[in-house]
Structure formats: C-alpha cells, structure tokens
C-alpha cells in the first residue's frame, strides 16, 4: 500500500472503487450448435430432427352421396324462360308454322322501335295504333312490352341532316339505332345512287309539333275555323297553327321544344283531342317546288329510305301540292 501514498485523493477513490470485469472471472465459452447426426443406427425420431422426412399424404376427398328418388313415367324437361320472339328491331320473316303470338310480338317490337322506344301508349302513338286492334291477353301483352323495353335500352335517337339531288332538297332523317356507323354504311349505296349525302345546310329549326282534332257538332267554314284556331294558338303559347283537314277538324300546332308539354295541356283544356306530339324539324326558309319527274324520283328515294327499320321519320323542305 506504500505506492498509493503519493497519489491524489481522487485517484485513490477511482482505484479502490474499480469494479471487477466478468471476463476476467468467467472464461469464454462458445455457444452450442445443433449438429446434424448422420448416424444410420438412430431412428428418425431419435435424431436431432433436421433430417426428418414427413411422407406426403394426399388430402382426403369428401365425397357426398346423393340418393336419387325413383322416377315414375316419362321425364319432363324443364324449359328455361325464353322470349316470345327474337330481340330484334328488324322485320322478321317467319315460317307458316310460326304461332300468331310470335308474329304479333315482332310487330309490337317494331311499333315500339319506330315510335321512339317508349312502351307507354300515351307517348308512343305507333304503339297505340297497333294495340287497338290487337286480340291478346293482357298478361301476354305486358310481357311482350317488357321484352321490348329491354331491347330498346341500347337504342338511341339521332337526327341526320341530308342533302338530296345535289342540293336540290334539304332533309333531316330521324333514326333510332344502336349502331349509327352500321346504319350509315347500309344507306351509303342508296344515297350514292340518288346523289344524296349527309350534309347540314342549317335550313331546319327544331320545333315542337302537335297534331290535334277539334270535335265539333256543327260544321265550321274555313274562315271561322281559322279564326278560332289563331285565337286558341295565341292563348296556348303556340308559335304557329294550320288546318290540315277541314272535314275531320284536324289541325297542326307548332311551338318551342321546351314548351311542348305546356302547350299540349292547354290545348286539352280548349277541348282539342291530341293525336300526336313530337319534337321535329321545320324548314326556316321558303319551300322548294319540284317538277312531276323530280317529285316521282324523290318519293321513290324516300320510300326506299323508309324501308330500313331504323329510319323513323323524314323531314324536308319540299312543297306538297
């Protein structure tokens, strides 16, 4: 202890309180490792477990047995619910053995298609005209109309401006189809032969058209009927009116497209019977006069154009004599 006599008090404190290190007491021992035994004398379960090979057993397949009940008589085939007629908006040529119900279903589908796609007879006048002489049960008619509504979901209505005879006649063709490109390709040969094309000369305005009849017990002359028509058109907010058939009391009202429903309701209040309403196209310039030869060719062109089932209506600027 003589050598600590010349040390500082702080140094003496550090030397006396120095802890002992474990490494100086416990010798270093390496961690035990798991050594794989290669002894063939030991069984697999008595080895260290690294070389244990578990046999691959296939999973058991659960088989469910079904006890079939005995069948008596002939087996009845269950038919799935099918449509009464094919879901097509085209006219189908049926065989002679085809039931009348299938034929009528196809005619109703054409009426719904040409009438704008609505199955409501109050809105679709083509359908209402076809249902009036129809002799079918109400449940079958409703099923056919539901099938028609399902078919018309993918259909859309388009207004195609056309030019006939090298700008001789301006036309607007209203069509209803699910493939507009295919329709134009079908009409291409007919239009090329008649010197027609899809071209818009902006000669038509979109107008609401209302066809109606005025039931009257006493016959009216033209002047009195025309004066009454103008007064009613002014009160109903119609832009124009005309007499189409004096003997039947048929008239035509024109209005703005967004006022179509309001004008039709006011005309009903004036005792008019609405027969047809639509948003059509009217020429905004003077009408065109055609010769007899030109008129015959133009009517033939319109007839061939209407033979396509997707063509709904044709508007033109031709004066009808």
Asked, for residue 42, whether it belongs to a domain, the answer is no
DSSP states along 69-131: PP--SSPPPPPPP--SS-S-SS-----TTS-HHHHHHHHHHHHHHHTTS---TTT-HHHHHHH
Same domain, 132 and 260: no
Q: Is residue 273 domain-resident?
A: yes
Buried b (16+ CB within 10 A) or exposed e, 94-130: eeeeeeeebebbbebbbbbbbbbbbbebeebbbbbeb
- The packing angle between helices 138-151 and 100-114, to 10°, is 50
Closest CA to 290 of 159, 204, 160, 171: 171
Q: Are residue 217 and residue 139 in the same domain, yes or no?
A: no
Domain that holds residue 136: 100-154
In this structure, are 169 and 252 located in the same domain?
A: yes
Same domain, 292 and 312: yes
Helix H or strand E segment including 138 = helix 138-151
Burial class, 89, CB count within 10 angstroms (exposed 0-12 / middle 13-18 / buried 19+): buried
Residue 69 belongs to some domain of the structure: no
Give pLDDT tens digits along the chain (321 positions): 455 555 555 555 455 555 555 555 566 666 666 555 565 555 554 445 445 455 555 555 454 454 544 444 444 443 434 555 555 566 667 767 778 778 888 888 888 888 888 888 877 878 888 887 777 788 888 888 888 888 788 888 999 999 999 899 999 999 999 899 999 999 999 999 999 999 999 999 999 999 999 876 656 788 888 898 999 999 999 999 999 888 888 999 999 999 999 999 999 999 899 988 889 999 999 999 999 999 999 999 999 999 998 899 999 999 987
Radius of gyration of the chain (CA): 45
In a domain, 267, yes or no: yes
Q: Is residue 146 classed as helix, strand or coil in its secondary structure? A: helix
**Distance, CA of 171 to CA of 161 (rounded, Å):** 6
Tell me the pLDDT tens digit for each residue of 69-98: 444 444 444 343 455 555 556 666 776 777
Share of the chain above pLDDT 90, in %: 39
Q: How many structural domains comprise the chain?
A: 2
CA dist 317 and 137 (Å) reads: 44
Tell me the CATH number at 262: 3.30.70.980
Residues 273 and 140 in one domain: no
What's this model's pTM, rounded to 2 decimal places?
A: 0.63
Query: Looking at 92, 126, 154, which one is the last position of a domain?
Result: 154
């Amino acid at each position: 202890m003589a050598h600590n006599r010349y040390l500082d008090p702080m140094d003496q404190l550090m030397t006396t309180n120095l802890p002992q290190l474990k490494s100086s007491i416990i010798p270093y021992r390496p961690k035990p490792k798991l050594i794989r035994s290669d002894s063939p004398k030991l069984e697999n379960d008595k080895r260290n477990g690294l070389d244990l090979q578990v046999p691959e057993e296939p999973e058991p397949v659960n088989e469910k047995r079904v006890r079939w009940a005995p069948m008596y008589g002939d087996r009845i085939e269950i038919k799935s619910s099918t449509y009464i007629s094919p879901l097509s908006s085209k006219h189908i040529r049926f065989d002679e053995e085809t039931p009348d119900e299938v034929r009528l279903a196809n005619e109703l589908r054409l009426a719904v298609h040409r009438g704008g796609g609505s199955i409501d007879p109050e809105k679709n006048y083509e359908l209402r005209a076809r249902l009036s002489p129809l002799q079918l049960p109400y449940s079958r008619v409703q099923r056919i109309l539901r099938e028609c509504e399902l078919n018309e979901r993918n259909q859309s209505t388009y207004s195609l401006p056309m030019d006939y005879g090298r700008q001789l006649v301006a036309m607007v063709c209203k069509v209803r189809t699910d493939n507009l490109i295919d329709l134009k390709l079908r009409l291409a040969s007919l239009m090329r032969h008649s010197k027609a094309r899809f071209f818009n000369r902006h000669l038509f305005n979109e107008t609401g058209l209302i066809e109606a009849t005025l039931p009257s017990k006493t016959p009216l002359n033209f002047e009195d009927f025309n004066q009454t028509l103008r007064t009613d058109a002014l009160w109903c907010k119609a832009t124009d009116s005309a007499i189409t058939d004096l003997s039947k009391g048929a008239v035509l009202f024109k209005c703005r497209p967004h006022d179509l429903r309001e004008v039709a309701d006011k005309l009903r209040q004036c005792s008019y019977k609405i027969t047809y309403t639509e948003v059509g196209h009217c020429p905004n310039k003077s009408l065109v006069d055609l010769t007899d030869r030109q008129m015959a060719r133009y009517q033939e062109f319109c007839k061939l154009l209407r033979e396509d089932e997707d063509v709904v209506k044709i508007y033109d600027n031709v004066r009808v004599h």
